[in-house]
Amino acid sequence: MLMRRIIVTRAGRPALFRLGAIRRNLPFFLLLAVMIAGIAAGAIHGRSSDVETLKSLDVLFLTDFAAKRGEGLLSTFCASFSSAFLFMLALFVSGSSLCGCISSALIPFVKGFGYGLSVGYMYSAYGFMGILYNALIVLPGAFLSCVIITAAASQSMKCSLKMISLFRRSPVQDDPRIFMKHFLLSMLWLLLLSAVSSCIDMGASAVFSQLFNFS
């Protein structure tokens, strides 16, 4: 699976930095660039956003930092995992459809935009303390979550393109169930990693949230 190929090392060198691995994972790197562009766009837009805007987007992007400070650990985990699950579900649906390669490419941008929105607003409203809040509480879980969503988007795009290539052939030579099974297993593995990301988010919130008072 993609995440395993990214983190596994061989002969003392990270597989991620080998030329062959870069070629195989080119969609991942391209989608990661899309997500970074989304973060930049969100940060720019977040500087002119208000609290009400952040609250309206909290279900998907966890941008309501005030609510996060007052939540219990279980609530923090559920909120973080629910957000990740919605993105993973959208990517699974995209990967299961013939035209899903388009939406699979857009979802990392949307995910990055949400994170950038929070960063831009916190910096604009609270300066250095806002950046420190993001670095200590938001970034640990958000970084892993962004990588997971990018990996899932890459798998989703590949599956959708594979379906297009198969159905363009007449007759269909390969069984679509084979790569759909691999796609499902990859998404389940990435969803499990999303739960780990949510645990990190919960832990960072438990340790550092009481250090900040933005009232």
> What are the boundaries of each domain within the chain?
41-211
Residue with more model confidence, 26 or 19: 26
Phi, psi of 29 (to 5 degrees): -65, -35
Q: Would the pLDDT of 16 be above 60?
A: no
CB 53 within 8 A of CB 170: no
Reading the block at residue 26, the tokens are: 């080119």
CB 54 within 8 A of CB 121: yes
Q: What is the pLDDT of residue 156?
A: 94
Q: pLDDT tens digits, residue range 136-184?
A: 888 888 899 999 999 999 999 999 988 888 776 655 556 677 888 899 9
Cα–Cα dist 211/94, whole Å: 41
Output the pTM of the full model.
Answer: 0.82
Q: How far is CA 153 from CA 28, 87, 150, 170, 184, in A?
A: 8, 9, 5, 28, 13
Residue with more model confidence, 27 or 60: 27
Q: pLDDT tens digits, residue range 89-144?
A: 999 999 998 888 899 999 999 999 988 988 888 888 888 888 898 888 888 888 99
Q: What is the pLDDT of residue 66?
A: 60
Q: pLDDT tens digits, residue range 39-75?
A: 999 999 888 877 777 777 766 777 666 656 666 778 8
Q: Would the pLDDT of 204 be above 60?
A: yes
Q: Is the dihedral of CA 9, 13, 17, 22 positive or negative?
A: negative
Rg, the chain, Cα only: 19
Q: Average per-residue pLDDT in the chain? A: 82
Mean pLDDT of 79-98: 91
Q: Lowest-pLDDT range, 14-18, 56-60, 135-139, 192-196?
A: 14-18
